[in-house]
Amino acid sequence: MVFQPAGPSKIDGASPALSSDDATGARDRLLQKISAESDLPSLGSSISRVVEMASSGDEAVRNLAHFILSDVALTQKILRIANTVVYHAATGTPVTTVSRAIFLLGFDTVKTCALAMLLVDGMSGKHGRSVRIELCHALTASILGRELARRSHFKDAEEAAIAALFKNIGRLLVASHDHDSYSEIAALTEGGKVSPVQAAMKVIGCSLDALTDAVLQEWQMPDTIINALAPLPSGALKPAKSRQEWMQQVAAFSSTAATVIPHVSETGQHAASAALLNRFGAAFNLDQEKLNELFMSVARESRVLISNTGLAMDGIVPDPLVDELDGESAERGLPDELLLAGSDGSLPQVTERHQSGKPVNARDLLLAGMQDVTQMMASGQCKVNDLMLLVLETLYGSMGFRFATVCLRDVQSGTYRARISIGQNNAVRQAGFSFPATDRNDLFCLALEKGADLMISDAAVPKIRSLLPAWHRTLLPDARSFIVLPLVVNRKPIGLFYADRTLPAPEGVPADETALIKTLKAQIIGALQTRS
């Protein structure tokens, strides 16, 4: 059972408090229980990190990709979403890298999806159906917020999708931490005679909005998001005069509409749609036709997101929409022989690994990554830094490395410095990965001078170890197998790719894998030549 709003006039307006000593005690016990929950602080920290990521600047895509790649489960979920028919590129080839997923779906879409996944992973598994209903509500609301943001003229409008995602966090927390109170509040509001605010005040001693505010303050959410969750005046709303007012309207509309969409095809739901239009129609320039189109689009995306988080249940998306989506999927399918990764077009998976950590099917993974790079280059819209990150991610995942970086020459200081890194302790290792651009008899300078690709299977071999510079032995003392791929443009070395493992790799790099790695490097060099 979900807390259904009784009507537009009761969605946001204040209601008389029905508090008592018992209710105050219940509220305090609930807050203590939530505070004592060990998972919530780490969840809040992760969510805050993602929320703070700006959508502009060269670091944006890199930071988001780093965060996602640091969590294997999150990486897999984002890739599954990118490969659904709703988001998938028309080529029909699978998306195998987070970098390309961000490129195809857009930074803000992936950011919101990542936040949704964090919320699901942090809250699911408790009191099954009730928590899943509230999580599905939050995901649907975030998609509604994103759709409205796309149509807005306000700067940084995508922040409204984040506000919409957290609008019902109070209900979600009660469902997961005090299910008896959740059920009691739901029973009180079921008949429509008691508003959600009144019911919550009676049962837990505070409104659910106040609970949401307290938790988001604890998570150090930006004030713009917290303020966007404040109640709105009752009655029909006019177009917003400020971005903050518009965000409040988006959060309120999205949360309310998210309760309507799963039941939109049911008898008697016309009244709910009419109430939405009466309250929000003028504010968002919506009529019945536009509202129906919005619901259809959001229902389609919600089904994808919900199914890929393992939350799917009966009643989440209307059956007619499910049938339509299945038909669309078949219509847009491509012949099996045109798909890159196997007869079913599925993502290439790591099945087995060598003792070094290198995937046995490294060739297939490299080939899929090379396809990602080729398609991004063909678009003519990606930056060289984004391509470098994509190649780095391909090498890192396909070859089973623990740390990978792109090192570029700094002309002013006369040094080579790591600029983009992924993997274990990437920030610390990137900060220390620097060496002079002078001719010396060490492995890195020799590779740059000769433009030679190096693939070291065992760095402990005396001949190899004697060529390792002191800075490398200090920074990466446990590196046992690694690659060095110099970037030489017009006969001038400008940098290199480096990636390593902590175990030797006696299996080596076969000729077919070597050819793919060299092709990946050549694509970057080609992009650099075009830019110069």
- Give tens-digit pLDDT for 15-37: 444 444 555 565 566 667 766 66
Summary count for the chain: helices (H), strands (E) = 25, 6
Q: What is the mean pLDDT of residues 247-267?
A: 86
Separation of alpha carbons 158 and 124, rounded Å: 25
Helix (H) or strand (E) holding 419: strand 415-423
The conformation of residue 372, written as its DSSP 8-state character, comes to H
CA distances from 395 to 399, 403, 505 (A): 6, 10, 15
Query: What are the boundaries of each domain within the chain?
Result: 8-322, 362-531
Nearest partner of 108 among 69, 174, 165, 70, judged by Cα: 165
3 state DSSP class of 55: coil
pLDDT (0 to 100) of residue 433: 96
CATH of domain 8-322: 1.10.3210.10
Separation of alpha carbons 405 and 476, rounded Å: 13
pLDDT (0 to 100) of residue 37: 62
Alpha-carbon torsion (25, 196, 303, 257), positive or negative: negative
Question: CATH says 362-531 is which class?
Answer: alpha beta
Nearest partner of 250 among 173, 170, 157, judged by Cα: 157
- Give tens-digit pLDDT for 51-94: 888 766 667 888 888 888 888 788 888 888 888 766 655 456 77
Least confident stretch, 187-196, 271-280, 387-396: 187-196
- Give tens-digit pLDDT for 295-349: 988 888 888 778 777 676 554 444 444 444 344 433 333 333 333 333 344 567 7
Separation of alpha carbons 75 and 54, rounded Å: 20
The secondary structure of 95-111 as a DSSP string is P--HHHHHHHH-HHHHH
Structure confidence at residue 369 as a pLDDT band (50, 70, 90): confident
Mean pLDDT of the chain: 81
Whole-angstrom Cα Rg for the chain: 26
How many percent of the chain have pLDDT more than 90? 36
CA distances from 95 to 14, 25, 72, 405 (A): 47, 52, 16, 22
